[in-house]
Every structure is written in structure tokens, then in C-alpha cells.
Amino acid sequence: MYIVLMVLLFVMMFGIGFILNMLMKTTWFPMALYVVLVIPLAMWAMWDSSLTFVGNVTNYGFVDILIAIAGLVGAYISGKTIGYLRAGGYKMF
């Protein structure tokens, strides 16, 4: 189940990042958006108010971190793909 979730988040962030890169003409924006918006919102959704800050942070497992990294890699590769397309002469990207 976690492998499917990792692939799904990778593909989803690649697609969203690719579209954002085409519209905004920046290769770094999807990664910044993921780090600034998506990761904190996911942490806030799973936050347990009865635990301390350290208790909440240590509550995340290795698999949770791998899933977050898969999304970040998808956003990174979307920027690289757009960069290669622009370098290859495609003006629409």
C-alpha cells in the first residue's frame, strides 16, 4: 500500500509541477510550494494536540518520510523535465 502511495504522490506532484512550470515559467516553484505548503499542511492534519512538539515529530515513521520525499522528487523532476524541454527548443514550455 505504501509503494502505491509513493508512486501516486510522485506522479501527482510531477503532473501538478509540470503544469505549474508551464504556466508560471519557473522551474523552482513546485518544489517551494511543496515544502512551504503541502508538507506543513500534512503535518497539521496529523497533529496530535495531546503530544509535545518533539512527540509529534518523532511520531512520524520512516515510511511517512519516504512518502513525503517521493512527492518532493516528483516536483523536482517536473522542473528538470521542463528545463530539458526548454533547452531542447520547445518554446511553449
Unique residue bearing C-alpha cell 511543496: 34
For residue 51, give the C-alpha cell.
Answer: 503530544
Alpha-carbon distance 53 to 64, whole Å?
Answer: 17
How far apart, in Å, do the first and last CA atoms of the chain sit? 34
Rounded-to-integer distance, Cα 68 and Cα 71, Å: 5
Q: For position 24, what pLDDT does the model report? A: 87
Residue 81 sits at φ, ψ, to 5 deg, of: -65, -45
pLDDT tens column, 10-56: 999 999 999 998 888 888 888 998 999 988 998 888 888 898 989 88
- Tens digits of residue pLDDT in 60-69: 889 989 999 9
* pLDDT band per the 50, 70, 90 thresholds, residue 79: very high
